[in-house]
Structure 1
Amino acid sequence: MSELVQVNMREAKSQLSRLAERAWQGDKVVIAKAGKPYLYLLPHVETPRARKPGRLKGKIRMSAHFDKTPEDIIAGFEGSL
């Protein structure tokens, strides 16, 4: 379970490494200015790369019979088995 940690700006300057480690471990770290929440310290999370359509063109092969589903499998999905 994450813990909420609030520190003032001066304390954050002197303990940045420790606070960063806590944020990385899941604690919510709030840096306050004049006693009021000012910043959240968050771990960096990689953003997923944008999809590039056609990237695998020519690398994926499908069987000529890929769209012919056997009757027993269709019956299993439709509940008639």
Structure 2
Amino acid sequence: MATYGVAEAKNNFTHLLDRVQSGEKITITRHGKPIAEMNPPPKRTLEQRRAAQAYFAERRKAQKPLPMSAVELLHMDDEPER
């Protein structure tokens, strides 16, 4: 795992993203103390991605509808209080 200070990471951000994309973990430090980690996304099979998508679709269907539309919800702040 590579370690970079904040300023160096900022100056090399695109390069660090390329390294993370290829599977490397990067730690960002400030004053020598770790403050962030850049990790590659977990590798999932097509079957796992489809299962996750189906799970979230089912959860969305199970939610109760809101009593008002999104537009009505946004316009609530526009109405004067009584």
- TM-score normalised per structure 1: 0.52
Higher helix proportion, which one? 2
Aligned: 1:30 with 2:33 = no
Percent sequence identity is: 26
Structure 2, unpaired ranges of 5+? 60-82
Q: Which residue of 1 aligns with 2:10?
A: 13
Aligned with 1:43: secondary structure? coil
Aligned: 1:49 with 2:53 = yes
Q: Report the residue type matching 1:40 in the other structure.
A: E
Whichever of the two has the greater Rg, that structure is 1
Q: Report the residue type matching 2:53 in the other structure.
A: R
The number of residue pairs the alignment matches comes to 50
Q: Which runs of 4+ in 1 moved over 6 A?
A: none
Kept in 1, the 8 Å contact 2:24–2:40? The answer is no
- TM-score normalised per structure 2: 0.51
Structure 1, unpaired ranges of 5+? 54-81
Q: For each residue in 1:5-54, what CA deviation from the matched residue of structure 2 results, as whole angstroms up to 9, or x when unmatched? A: 1000000100000001101111110000110111001335687324239x
